[in-house]
Amino acid sequence: MYYVIQSEYAGANTHDSAGHILGDTTEMTITTTIGLKNMSKEPCTEGWLGTTNDWSSTARGEFNSLEEALGYVHSEGYTEEKEDSECDEISVWVTPESKMEKWNAGDWVLNAMGEESACKEYNITADSTDAHLEAMADKVEKEAKEDFNTLVFGTYDLFCQLRDDLEE
């Protein structure tokens, strides 16, 4: 079985010692160890576990597979930022989509570097395959998420248009 434990900062400080904003990031841990309430140590699969060192923990469910647990995390509107695998648990730092700045892909890519530079940066030529353009679109979308942005309105379509413009 897999368990999802959500941890949220509940303290008065707004930044940690590394300068990260504490209130904007939630840690979801997918583990094979059931969550325990912090006072009674009673096993818990759903509900509040307690608060320790300004971090509130909540059990978010029991799942039959890792894929189901990750599916739950995604269904709640979260996106993975960093994933580490150690022993029997996977920590996934996630940011709610609602806290990410939304960008039109054209604005994000073209305003930052222009068409010619974008074609060079992502190796877009008149002969670029759809698979290459899709891989590059995935790369750009991942880069945007690393900066707490989400691209809406077609990165792949933008790259197809850039390729088509080069064919003319």
Strands 2-9, 55-63: pairing kind: antiparallel
Distance from C-alpha of 117 to C-alpha of 43, rounded to nearest angstrom: 55
Tell me: do 24 and 65 sit in the same domain.
Answer: yes
Give per-residue burial for 44-80: e unless 16+ CB within 10 Å, then b: beeeebeeeeeebbbbbbebeeeeebbebbeeeebbe
How far is 26 from 8, CA to CA, in rounded Å? 5
Interval 92-115: pLDDT, tens: 555 565 566 677 788 878 877 888
Please check whether residues 11 and 46 belong to one and the same domain: yes
Last residue of some domain: 49, 68, 99?
99
End-to-end Cα, the chain, rounded Å: 55
User: Which residue, of 99, 122, 147, is where some domain finishes?
Assistant: 99
> In the prediction, which pLDDT does 96 show?
60
Spatial distance between the Cα atoms of 150 and 36, rounded to a whole number of angstroms: 35
From 51, 68, 99, the end of a domain falls on: 99
Q: pTM for this one?
A: 0.52
Question: What domain count does the chain have?
Answer: 2
Q: Which residue has the higher pLDDT, 52 or 152?
A: 52
Q: State which residues form the domain around 145.
A: 101-167
Q: What is the pLDDT of residue 87?
A: 47
- Note whether 71 and 113 are same-domain residues: no
The tens digit of pLDDT for each residue in 68-80 reads 988 888 777 666 6
Predicted pLDDT at 76: 76
pLDDT for res 48:
95
Residues 84 and 105 in one domain: no
Is the domain of 18 the same as that of 50?
yes
pLDDT, tens only, 43-65: 999 999 999 878 889 999 999 98
